[in-house]
Chain A
Amino acid sequence: MGEKLLMKGSEAIAEAAIRAGAMAFFGYPITPQNETPEYFSRRMPELGRVFLQAESEVAAINMVYGAACTGTRAITTSSSPGISLMQEGFSYIANTNVPCVVVNAMRGGPGLGDIAPAQADYFQATKGGGHGDYHSIVIAPHTVQEEADLMFDAFELADKYRIMVVVLVDGLLGQMMEPVEFKDWVDVKKFKTPEWATVGQGDRAQRNILISFDILAEGLEKMNLVLQNKYAKIRENEVRFEEYKMDDADYAITAFGTVARIAKTTIELARNEGIKIGLIRPITLYPFPEKVIENRASNVKFFFDTEMNEGQMLEDVKLAVNGKKPVYFHGRLGGIVPTAEEILDEFKKHLGG
């Protein structure tokens, strides 16, 4: 589009989703992401699209589920406690193989927690969260521009694999403003109802039945294998990451989202002191970029993982490093955002050891 707009992350997400062809939004208010539904509530009616405030997150995700079963691009956005309530729906959506996009602006937990930025829903997002053997694609932008760009990819990936895509952000990325340039509008007039959609049989030869159910174990195992094949393809083809100053790095920081961004400043500070740190930033948290981490294990002296939680992605980093090098960790809890200086201080504790 060319023109740069100064926008809040939480609004850029909504505008990008709209341009990416989101035809329906269902959601329930929760801080720190209220600007997103509020933005949708203004814009969707203008475009003749659907905005509906649900009575709860449980209802919201099931509305998304219903809309998704018609092959319509649908989205909900929420924050941690609301996302917890949606887990049942996520699990059903997974085994029904329908596409949708969910944004989680993570806040401090557990329980009611607070409304400050956090990353403590990594496990929930990447390891399933609801019941059963399933995954969603999970993407974690670290700037407002990237939030806007990845919303387009989120819808594309969702449709390509008939899967739920989770965009994992936090209140800081939602509240901050940066100039953003949006990709071109997706032409929604070209959208066609997919073959599999349940909209009434019409001229189709067969009925479409979209369910997450098979009373016979043999049948359910087959359904599970369909999912697992899909996940294998996704792991093969959709891994995304950024390597930042890794070429000459003696040490690698691993971090995602907001903390990865802060870590880039840490790296500048360190390099000013002659300490060569680089960053490996997973953009897809599922599929996880394990190969790049594994490969870098031969170049660096150690890894330093930093997150706003007590070491959740850390487990995936350790699996990828597989004991080849030490993996250290620094985390803040409850909604505290670490400073670049603090991360550097913690990092230095492991030098010269």
Chain B
Amino acid sequence: MEKGVVISGFGGQGVMLAGELLAEAGKEEGKYVTFLPSYGPEMRGGTANCHVIVSDTTIASPIIGYPKAAIVLNLPSLDKYEPLMKKDGIIIINKTLVPREVKRDDVRVLQIDAQHVAEDLGNKKVVNMILLGAYVEIEKPVKIETLKNALKSYLTGRKAELIEVNERALEKGAEIARDFMGVK
């Protein structure tokens, strides 16, 4: 199975870290992975996005033209990816920064008030991990445990103290996703 996701938001929201972490976890599980970041002027202050594919077989194109899953951290990202989503695809939205509803009715939508959830967890910066945790719980490209392990290779030195709150953020996201799936 090939599972691809687009993660998109402002530069500085941890879009790239979330994507790299997912790719690293996929690699840890012995899967094929590609991580394709946007780069260039659009990153200065503008939106940043990355395409991550995790697969059991070799991956052809690393580009996701029409996503089956998207993690959307800000409004411009929703505007950009909503029209491109595949039917029945899942959009996971950072509701705090996306003040509108999804217009399409043929996609699944999980809105998380992630900024506030992050504050409750004690660190405003873990929004990316909450949303990633939710995505991984729903689509299961990798195990949450592997993601948590992967954190250790990204948050080193002084940042090591952030591992714990990031782990909790992943778990919290997964929990929110489980509620969401239960409700559905």
| Residues of A near any B CB (own CB < 8 A) | 4, 6, 31-32, 114-116, 171-172, 175-179, 261-265, 267-268, 337, 339-342
- B61 & A179 in contact (Cβ 8 Å cutoff): no
Residue B37 lies at the interface, judged by CB distance under 8 Å to chain A:
yes
24 contacts between A and B (CB under 8 A): A6-B23, A6-B24, A6-B33, A6-B35, A31-B40, A32-B40, A115-B39, A172-B63, A175-B37, A175-B39, A176-B34, A176-B36, A176-B62, A177-B23, A177-B36, A178-B33, A179-B32, A261-B62, A263-B60, A267-B60, A337-B63, A340-B60, A340-B63, A341-B66
B168 within 8 A of A: no
Q: Given A6-B24, A6-B27, A339-B65 in contact, is the A261-B35 Cβ separation under 8 Å? A: no
Contacts of B41 in A (CB 8 A): 115
Nearest CB in chain A: distance from B155 CB, A: 15
Closest chain B CB from A275 CB (angstroms): 16
In the A-B complex, the 5 residue pairs with the closest CB atoms = A264-B60, A339-B65, A265-B61, A177-B35, A265-B60
User: Among B27, B39, B40, B66, which residue has its beta carbon within 8 angstroms of that of A179?
Assistant: B27
Closest chain B residue, CB of each to CB of A279: B60
What distance in Å separates the Cβ of A60 from its nearest Cβ neighbour in chain B?
23
Picked from A178, A264, A341, the residue with its CB within 8 Å of the CB of B34 is A178
Given contacts A32-B40, A341-B65, contact A178 B60 (CB under 8 A): no
Q: Hey, which chain A residues are within 8 Å of B66, CB to CB?
A: 341
Chain A residues contacting B62 (CB-CB under 8 Å) are 172, 176, 178, 261
Q: Which residues of B6-45 are within 8 A (CB) of A?
A: 20, 23-24, 27, 32-37, 39-41
Inter-chain contact total with CB atoms closer than 8 Å: 64
Inter-chain contact B36/A175, CB cutoff 8 Å: yes
Q: Are A339 and B34 within 8 A (Cβ)?
A: no
A337 and B62 CA atoms in complex are apart in Å by 11
- Find out whether the CB atom of A177 lies under 8 angstroms from the CB atom of B20: yes
Closest to A337 in B: B63
Closest chain A residue, CB of each to CB of B51 = A176
In the complex, A340→B4 CA distance in Å? 14
**Chain B residues whose CB sits within 8 angstroms of the CB of A265 once the complex forms:** 60-61
Contacts of B39 in A (CB 8 A): 32, 115, 171, 175
User: For the complex, what is the distance from the CA of A32 to the CA of B42, rounded to whole Å?
Assistant: 14
Looking across the interface, which residue of chain B has its beta carbon closest to that of A341? B65
Q: Which residue of chain A has its CB nearest to the CB of B31?
A: A179
Complex alpha-carbon distance, A177 and B150, angstroms: 15
- Could you say which residues of chain B place their CB within 8 Å of the CB of A175? 36-37, 39
B27:A268 contact, CB within 8 angstroms: no
Contact present for A176 and B37 (CB under 8 Å): yes
Q: Which residue of A lies closest to B27 (CB)?
A: A179
Instruction: Contacts A6-B35, A172-B36, A342-B65 known; list 13 others, CB within 8 Å.
Output: A4-B27, A116-B40, A172-B62, A177-B23, A177-B33, A177-B34, A177-B35, A261-B61, A261-B62, A262-B61, A264-B61, A339-B65, A341-B66
User: For B61, what are the chain A residues with a Cβ–Cβ distance below 8 Å?
Assistant: 261-262, 264-265, 339-340
